[in-house]
Structure 1
Amino acid sequence: MAILDAALELVGELGYERVTMDGIAARAHASKTTMYRRWPTKAELVADALRRHAQGDAPAVPDSGTLHGDLLATVAEIAETLTGDRGPSLIGLIEAVRDDATLREHVASQVRERSHQVGREICGRAATRGEPVHTDRAEAVLDLAFARLFTATLFDGGRPSLEEQRTLVDTILLPLLTTAPGRAA
């Protein structure tokens, strides 16, 4: 949709704070009335644009055939969203998310809903395949993955390497999902 694309382009070019609804309407050649009917605030419009961009119209959950492979693919997707290789990065919006309560609420909700949905789906598939997995830990483990990748991206100044992503999956995420509490793997 042209309006969402225009919002992403402008956020990438100008930064969230400098983007206006007028600017988005002009870039998209759209009516502000139409925009305000669907998105009452800039924060809601930008959050919707980010969601659509990160997930696409019909988000697919990684399905490699193994829990390990699905976790690796999911971690790579989270890292890409944080660094914004295909548009504005979540890290680049950190001040806007901090300062704009509406944007913060929408982005936080989207991140949690998506990561929880992905976690439930990949763990459910693993259980169906007969892999030993604690499906009840799926949401917490994906929250942990996002937090670790976010922190690494913020403090290291870039996307975690493939080796760092693999280490996160192999030494933290997979053991948490497949090992009984109090037992070594």
Structure 2
Amino acid sequence: MEARAAAGDRGTRRRGPALEATILDAVWAELSEVGYARLTMEGVAARARTGKQVLYRRWANRAELVVAAMRHRGGSIADEIPDTGELRGDVLAVLRQTVHRHRDTGQDVIRGIMADLPDLHPEFFTVMSDVMTTILERAAARGEIPSARLPVRVVTLPTDLLRHELLLSRRPVTDETLTGIVDDVFLPVVRAPR
């Protein structure tokens, strides 16, 4: 019966979103079985029952494929930017989402992607800056901060500090850590008169 199902899969040509979902699900199955370091485009293609050229038409390399699988699995923070009605709540929500995604993804995958950062499309590096810019623009419109026009290092300060905690501290990131980033560092900087 399994052989017939496999033959049926090969006889039905998958396209578009259905094919992409199959591929991205195959990425997670491969990651859990072989880990990031041993993940290959060939292995994913075989598991998804497609050719590796199909993968390369959509993703330039392994890192981009894994990031796409992460977004397929958990969405992108940019798709649902928190809007709690206050700057503090919005920034804490983004940081909590990031911690949750980091735990969900696992250290093996995160470290693998970090090693392959040069292979990622430049868009990967602007997502959090864009999210934080939106949050700051909303806060400025509500009158919580003088302006949303801030240096990029200030805009990304909370996410940069969180990345440091996640990757270098070797301690679990607690809610106390997140509130410290927001209350002790970020909010005083963005609320200061320019």
TM over 0.5: yes
The correspondence for 2:81, drawn from 61, 72, 81, is 61
Q: Give the residue type in structure 1 aligned to 2:55.
A: M
Residue 160, structure 1, aligned to residue 136, structure 2: no
RMSD, matched Cα: 2.7
Higher RCO (CA 8 Å, separation ≥ 6 residues)? 1
Structure 2 letter corresponding to 1:3: I
Which of 94, 98, 110 is the aligned partner of 1:93? Answer: 110
Q: Distance in 2 between matches of 1:138 and 1:124?
A: 13
What is the rounded CA distance, in whole Å, between the counterparts of 2:143 and 2:76 in structure 1? 30
Alignment of 1:126-141 (within 5 A): 126-137=139-150, 139-141=152-154
CA contact (8 A) 1:127 1:133 kept: yes
Aligned AA for 2:22?
A
Aligned length: 174
1:17-166 matches, within 5 Å, as: 17-53=37-73, 55-56=75-76, 59-81=79-101, 83-85=102-104, 87-89=105-107, 92-98=109-115, 101-102=118-119, 105-106=120-121, 109-110=123-124, 112-137=125-150, 139-166=152-179
Q: Is the 8 A contact 2:63 2:116 kept in 1?
A: no
Q: Using a 3 Å threshold, how does the CA distance of structure 1 residues 88 and 30 change in structure 2: closer, same or farther? A: farther
Secondary structure class of the residue paired with 2:126: helix
**In 1, Cα distance between the equivalents of 2:184 and 2:77?**
33
Matches of 1:100 and 1:127, distance apart in 2: 33
- TM-score by length of structure 2 reads 0.75
1:72 shift after superposition: 0.8
- Structure 1 pair 153/179, CA: closer, same or farther in 2 (3 Å)? same
SS at match of 2:165: helix
How far did residue 158 of structure 1 move? 4.6
Give the superposition deviation at 1:117: 1.1
Residues 2/18 of structure 1: CA separation in 2 closer, same or farther (3 Å cut): same
Matched with 2:22 is: 2
2:9 alignment partner in structure 1: none
Structure 2 Cα separation of the partners of residues 57 and 74 of structure 1: 7
Q: Where does the alignment leave 5 or more consecutive residues of structure 1 unmatched?
A: none
Q: Partners of 1:169 and 1:66 in 2: how far apart? A: 12
Shift of 1:132: 2.2
- C-alpha deviations, 1:4-53, integer Å up to 9, x for none? 22213323442222011121122223333322222243233223223444
Say which SS state the counterpart of residue 136 (structure 1) adopts. coil
